[in-house]
Amino acid sequence: MASTWVPDVSPDTPFSLANIPFGIVSSSADPAPHAAIAIGIHVLDLKALSSHATFHDVFPALKNHPGIFSKPTLNEFAALGRPVHREIRKTIQDLLSSETSRPEALKDNAELREKALLSQRNVKMHLPMNIGDYTDFYAGFHHAYSVGALFRGPQKALQPNYTHLPVGYHGRASSIVVSGTPIKRPVGQIIIDPTAEPKQPTTAPSRRLDIELELGCFISTPNEMGSSIKVTDAEDHIFGYVILNDWSARDIQTWEYIPLGPFNGKNFATTISPWVVLADALDPFRTKCLDNWTPLQPYLNENKKESIFDIELQVDLITPQGDATTISTTSSKYLMWSFPQMIAHHSLGGCPMRTGDILGTGTISGPTPNEKGSLLELSEGGKKDVMLYGMDVRRFLKDGDTVVMRGICGKPGEKVGFGDCVGRILAATPVQ
């Protein structure tokens, strides 16, 4: 990968020239949300870039899409499909390369650089997509096994269907927020005394507020209702990826989930990282799914052996006092099901996937104690303290706690990352 002429691009930045993630920003100079990409500590304002007279000569694929980077979301760009995304990303890489073939387009144009190359500190990040639907899967094998073992014992940890299909449920898209948005502790029905019979719930703030470390996938191009997406074609329907924290109120979830699954225990908030890493940027980091010992139905059989990614994932917990502790380090390689398999299964019955829909992997955990992607696992169901810096402890989240999730892959100078996925817990609204 060539170097960039953009100043102050550290070898350790997750926004190297090898990345070029897309997001939606606003600034004091232009408060209307619009498209940008991240490079080092800067953003390249694509709306400002597209205002230049030579823009359509540099980006011929966008000639019939005027103002596409002035939109408040990336949906219209995503809907153009992966070949266009690939061409635009490569062109931006060329414009930002030290050896660019078009220096006059940006590198040597001081006036345009002044307008288009901004500090990340001077922009506000917004939700990158207009999200119509959200589906959360359960593809993390080690999480599924360890949580199942907590409640059903090791012999019955996995449900009989787990290795036959990617288990999922429909989540709530309206409560998906961009990194940095505060998260209010939810209120719901909970059981105070689990030993009492009959069970008697009370309505109160959740006492077992948790995190779920996930990878999210945005859909680019749709399928028609009544049709399905082949697993071998599913890659063409993927726009890009984000880090996703599906906040979970375990006590609300425990009481409500039988027989239809999660509801208020999940629908109050989901946080995503601000930058969408395009599918092509993660191609070098492909790896094989965890072995599945069950023969699959033909529609789930992939031709590719390497259909998931080896992304280094990290979760930090920052207390109200400002003390930070890394509570988990794991990898996205610990998935049994790939996104193409999730898409193929999701659309099998004719469900129409739409541009901007997001799929979550479910919690990603590894096999060792320090690789767990939820406090439910780290605390062994709330029975064990998770040690924090300064002799503080947690079993679940307290008001004022901040959770920071990160994902990164690649070597220095060529790192690919998503930006921080951050949420701070606020006190619940008093029960009326």
Global pTM exceeds 0.95: yes
> What is the per-residue pLDDT for 341?
98
Q: Render pLDDT for 332-372 as a digit per residue (tens, 0 to 9).
A: 999 999 999 999 999 999 999 999 999 999 999 999 999 99
Active site residue 126: no
Q: Render pLDDT for 205-259 as a digit per residue (tens, 0 to 9).
A: 999 999 999 999 999 999 999 999 999 999 999 999 999 999 999 999 999 999 9
- For the domain spanning 22-126, the CATH number is 2.30.30.230
**Residue ranges per domain, the chain?**
22-126, 134-307+329-388
pLDDT band at 431 (very low <50, low <70, confident <90, very high): confident
> What is the per-residue pLDDT for 304?
72
> What is the per-residue pLDDT for 202?
96
pLDDT band at 281 (very low <50, low <70, confident <90, very high): very high
Instruction: Count other C-beta atoms under 10 Å from residue 331's C-beta.
Output: 19
> What is the per-residue pLDDT for 192?
94
Set 34, 143, 237, 345: catalytic member = 143
Residues 421/243, Cβ–Cβ less than 8 Å: yes
Residues 6+ apart with CB under 8 A from 195: none
Q: Shortest CA distance to 186 belongs to which of 272, 253, 255?
A: 253
Q: Render pLDDT for 43-79 as a digit per residue (tens, 0 to 9).
A: 999 999 999 978 999 999 999 999 999 999 999 999 9
pLDDT for 144 beyond 90 = yes
Write down the architecture of domain 134-307+329-388 according to CATH.
Alpha-Beta Complex (3.90)
Q: What percent of the chain has pLDDT over 70?
A: 100
> What is the per-residue pLDDT for 54?
86
Q: What angle do CA 325, 327, 329 make, to 5 degrees?
A: 120
The string over 53-74, giving b where at least 16 C-beta atoms fall within 10 Å of a residue's C-beta and e elsewhere, is eebeebbeebeebeebbbbebb
